[in-house]
Every structure is written in structure tokens, then in C-alpha cells.
Chain A
Amino acid sequence: MSILSDTFYMMKKDLVLEFRTRETLFAMGLFSFAAVLIFSSLFNLIENITLEAQYTISTAAMWFIVTFTIMLGLNSMFSRETQKNSIYSLLSLPVKPQAIFLAKLFYLVVIVGVVEIFAFIVAIVFLNISIQGSLLLFIFVLIFGTLDLAVAGCVVSLLTIYAKSKTLAIPILFFPLILPSIIIAADATRNLTFYYDPTAVITNALILFLHAVIISVLTLLLVEDLISE
């Protein structure tokens, strides 16, 4: 059995568990919905807001929501293995540690993806965002941005796997790692939705992709040390 099939079976198990209980999905969905409504109501309170300001704040809000949605997902990443103080159920498997990292990463990307589809429909309706340029480019920015944040989140989850106070450790490590990515992703989305500057969008999307690849490669090289007690 290859690393890919190991990854697939571990990811499938996590997704089956998540879609059965829907605990994390519900929390992420509810947070996204509430956040979009709050930003939407704020725009209604401000008089004479320019379209540029509205788009700038909306795109920043969009990535703010994505970031915190991912953070909600991070808490549950290894919780099924650690809830009974049994990370050993994962470590006892005859699989390469890289498969564990990839399985958790793809699991996070899938559940965040599901929430994003829901959240963006809500955001388009309530925040009144329209995409001026290519929808395909928008999807690329969204995928690369989410992938980048999810990779960083996975690394942080691995680093804090044995931490006693995860709720404190995760934000401390996660935010410095993803801050440049959020700025780039928000800039790319603003360029796409308001200015429509495809060159800038593609450059930003590539930076996000490269950032995700670099962190992934480094993690794949170090994952064995990160995961072992």
C-alpha cells in the first residue's frame, strides 16, 4: 500500500467522522454566517461609504472569516486521536509520518472548502461583492489562499500536538506564520473584485502557492520529528 492510499484511508476516516457528527462543520458554518452578517450590518450603518472602501473592507473581511474558520478546524484536527489521550492510535499505524500530515491537510482543505462554498454564497448576497474579472482567477486565488492557510494550520497543529494549552499555543504560532499570506490573499481578491488587475492577481496567487509548497516540503522533511513524542 502506497503513501497515497494510506493518506486516502486516514482522510476518509476523518471525513466520515466529521460528516457524521458535523460538530466542526456546524461551528465553522455558524461562525462564517454570523461574521458575514456582522460586516454586512456595519456597512449599512456607515453613510456615504465609497465603493472602493466597501470592496477593500469586504475582501479583508472575507479572508478574516476564512482564517478564523480554519482556526476552528485546527482544534479538531488531532482531537479524535487525542481526546482519549491516545495519539498512539495514529502513531501505531505502519504508515509514513508524511501520510499522516497529508491526510490531515486534505481533511482540513475539504471541510474548509465545504464551509467556504456556503460562506461565499452568503458573502456575495450580504456583502454585495461582484467579481469584475475572471471567475476562474477568483477560484484560483481562493484555492491557493485556502491551501496556504491550511498548510500553515496543519504545521501549527503538528507543532502543538503535545501542547497542554492548545487554545493558547495555536494562535501564537499560527498568526505570525499566516499574516503575510492573508495580506497577499486579500490584496489579490481586491485586485480581482474592484480594480481587475489580472497580472497582480496571478502574481499574488503564485506567491500564495509557492508559500504553501515551501512550508509543505519543509514539513514533509521534518514531520517525523514533529510527530514523535
Chain B
Amino acid sequence: MVTNQQADNTVVNLSKISKTYGFTAALKNISLSIETGETIGLIGNNGAGKSTLLKIIALLVSPSSGNMEFSGVDVKDRKAVLKKDMEVLLSHAFLFDDLTGRENLEYYFKMNKRISNPKQAVKEIVKQFNLKLYIDRPVREYSTGMAKKLEILRVSYPTLPKVLLLDEPFSGLDVENRKMLHTIIKDHPPNKTVIICSHDFNAIAQLCSRVYYLEKGRISQSYLPNEYDQFL
């Protein structure tokens, strides 16, 4: 039974969401409710629909049918406003190769509107994360790990957004960045929500308060931490 308090805490509510690409059904009747403070894992094999589901929650892809609410608000006509409360880290980097790290961060901080003084924020990042040597170089000269670090800072600095969405966040990460991202997810404030999508259960299970297993576009199982043994 859903109590009023639980209903108020719901940050993302999906109701019968389906998505088709041509004749291929990527998602079939997904209903899901995610509460504030949770860390949700979306697990599944390649092509199970987990990335599509993540992109629908991130308002990057429109569902073919079904309804979606964000903090109790229907997303249909308020996408631009609601995107302010979200950040998404996809496997494809958002950074522009011919801009410097500083220009990239300033651009996204300006556009994402979570930070009032983007220039100052980047100065603080440079100091805090010791990026002085790299920040004024074009991103095309960065190593994969360095670019990934900048991407993580783009979505998580100075505080996490209301909802942080991560698609295969640990793939291609070096030890330092893995540790940094691990800490960000594990220590996230109780008023923030993290949704992680991965095909590797072991990589994210210890971070998640709930894990959904997707199969052929449907949620076939959900697991709480004390049920993780059943999955393994």
C-alpha cells in the first residue's frame, strides 16, 4: 500500500511506458516509481532496453505511449524546466573536443543553470581537483580518464542535481575516477536520487537500494539488497 508520505517522496513515476523504434519494441509497458534518496540500478543484457529507459527518464527520448511524472508534475509540457533538476552521464561524452576543459565546463554550467557563477565554480574545481595543468588544453588532448573525470565533475559539481542518471558509468574508468564516482554515488544526500544503468550487476549492486532487471523491454524482476544473492 502506498502511503501519502511515500507518494510525496516519489520523484519519478512511470506509468505504462512503451517505446518502439520502427517495428522494434524497445520498452513494453514499464511502470516504475522511484523515490527521493534512492539509488536505483537498471540491469539487463545488451538490448534489454535499460539505456532507452534511462533516456526516457532523462527526458532525452519521448516514449511512444504511457505517462511520466517528475515530482508529481506531468513532464509533457515542462521538459525544459524539469531538465534543470537532472544531469545525465552517458557512455558518449558530452564534451566538445575543440573547446578547452574550462570552456566546456563553463558552457555546461551556464546552460544547466545549477550554478550562479560558472567562472568561479570552474576556478574552484581547478583548485580542488588539481586540474591546473589540463584545464586550458583542448579536450582532444585529454586521456580517456581525464575526459571522464571532467564529465563526472560536469554532472556532480558543486552538489548533485535532484536526479542523477548514469549510463554504464564505470566502464572505461581508471581506479582514481572509479573511486571518485563510487564516493559521489554512495554519499549522495538524502534529497537526491541516483539512477544507474549497467549490464554488470556486481559493479553497481553494492551502491543500489533497489535493482530492476530488464529483459526484452520489460522489468522481469526487482531486487532489494537482501535479495541480491538470488540474482547471483
Residues of A whose CB lies within 8 Å of any CB of B are 1, 6, 9-10, 13, 16-17, 20-21, 80, 84-86, 88-89, 91-97, 224, 228-229
Contact = CB atoms under 8 A, between A and B. Distances in A.
A94 B96 contact: no
B149 interface: no
A100 to B, nearest CB: 10
Contact of A94 (B60, B93, B112): B112
Contacts of B93: 84, 86
A92 B103 contact: no
B219 to A, nearest CB: 22
A92 B89 CA distance: 10
A88 B61 CA distance: 9
Contacts of B111: 6, 9-10, 93-95
Given A92-B60, A93-B111, A228-B62, A86 B99 contact: no
Interface string B84-95: 101110101110
A17 B99 contact: yes
Nearest to A5: B110
A86 B84 contact: no
A93 B60 contact: no
Contacts of A16: 99, 103
A88 B96 contact: no
Contact of B58 (A17, A92, A97, A224): A92
Contacts of A9: 107, 110-111
A17 B94 contact: no
B232 interface: no
Given A88-B92, A91-B60, A94-B80, A21 B98 contact: yes
A95 B84 CA distance: 9
25 contacts: A1-B110, A9-B110, A10-B111, A13-B99, A17-B96, A17-B99, A20-B99, A84-B93, A85-B92, A86-B94, A88-B58, A88-B88, A88-B90, A89-B94, A91-B60, A92-B60, A93-B83, A94-B80, A94-B83, A94-B84, A94-B111, A96-B80, A224-B79, A228-B62, A229-B60
B113 interface: yes
B112 A17 contact: no
B55 interface: yes
Q: Quick one: which of A10, A17, A91, A94 has the most chain B CB within 10 A?
A: A94
A163 B159 CA distance: 37
B107 A13 contact: yes
Given A1-B113, A9-B110, A229-B62, A88 B83 contact: no
Contact of B113 (A21, A94, A96, A228): A94
Contact of B83 (A10, A80, A89, A92): A92
